[in-house]
Amino acid sequence: MKIRTLIERFERFAPQTIAEPKDPVGLQLGSLDADFHKVLVSLDVRPEVVDEAVAVGADFIFAHHPMMFHPARNLDLSDPQNQMYATLLQHHITVYAAHTNLDSANGGMNDWLASALGLSNTIGMVDGVRETTYLLTTHIQSVYADAVRLAMVGAGAGNIDHFSGASFEWSGTTWFTPLQGADPKLGAVGERNHQEELSLQTQVPASKLQAVIQAITEVYPGGQPAIELTQLANSGQQFAMGRIGDLPNTMTVREFAEHCKQVFHVKGLRVVADDMNKPVQRIAVLGGDGGKFFKIAQRKGADAYVTGDVYYHTGHDMIAAHFPVIDPGHHIESICKPQLTALFQQWQKQNDWQFEIQPSTLNTDPFTFI
């Protein structure tokens, strides 16, 4: 099986188009056209993770954090990072990363974190990318209308608010004069002729545009239907990083901090609060480095906020705002390993794909609590 096959399915779930600007998501090393037999699912791509991939016979690493946040300045193999690249190439291991697109995806990273905390009635916290939507119009002979309509919908067109497969159509007359080389069925060369046609119109998100156009051309005879695209203003799905939701019951900040330790399996965490007994129930969560967004969480009605990598001076600002923040670390995003594994297994069963899936068993958290 080609790596591209799995990635195309994944990017229907978390398209690269919803990643934050300049986030180096996607293929990191290798080729999407390579065959693979075993995928190792990991939070990070570090030398020890690559060694694990080699040891278990994986030829594909799917990670949350990009391997190359910064370009290599040289290929001096005395640098452990460069040696890691060489090891990957030596063993023909392809690496792919889904970062902020997985963070923002519906049913992705931040929904997994919110679910682990037991939150309900969740909403998005920080507005991310609004996916561009196009109005696609194609003009076809009516005999092909059903086939084209089904192909468009099957490729992901026409999902609007609470409706799926929505499209609009109207009929009209196309006038033309066949020239030399034209299909004889369309009339004699040089003689004015006309033909009744249908126009089909539907909305398509940017992430599915290529697939929809391909689907249309595959079912339309000759593969050359007329297609018009218009970019719609102020439309398209608004994706968000982070979630805000409700705990089943009110807790004190201290009790909630203990709850976070148990949920995320950490031995220690940092609490930024001026009152450990303050009651909290509506909780904001954002995986990774989200300290700078605490004012948004507070403004949107959260009683407390869970995120990682809180900076010293930002912590002071949180205290001044009387807004409790729990920092269990960046590594809580390792929740992606079992969740992605389950997702891949689901798609594998649906499509009868033949490959092995293994979540990394390594803890790549660089910090140790003593």
Q: Which residues are annotated as a binding site for a divalent metal cation?
A: 64-65, 103, 330, 333
Token match 């995986």: residue? Answer: 287
Name the H helices within 178-301: 206-219, 253-264, 294-299
106-145 as b/e, with b when 16 or more CB fall inside 10 Å? eebbbbbbbbebebeebebbbebbebbbbebbbebeeebb
Cα dihedral sign for 298, 302, 304, 307? negative
* Nearest residue to 29 via CA among 113, 90, 100: 90
Type of residue found at 306:
V
Residues 6+ apart with CB under 8 A from 335: 109, 112, 113, 116, 264
Query: Which residues does the annotation place in the binding site?
Result: 64-65, 103, 330, 333
Task: Report d(CA 165, CA 150) in Å as an integer.
Answer: 8
Are the C-beta atoms of 248 and 120 separated by less than 8 Å? Answer: yes
d(CA 275, CA 265): 24
- Which residue, 339, 335, 241, 323, is CA-closest to 289? 241
157 vs 136: CA distance, rounded Å: 9
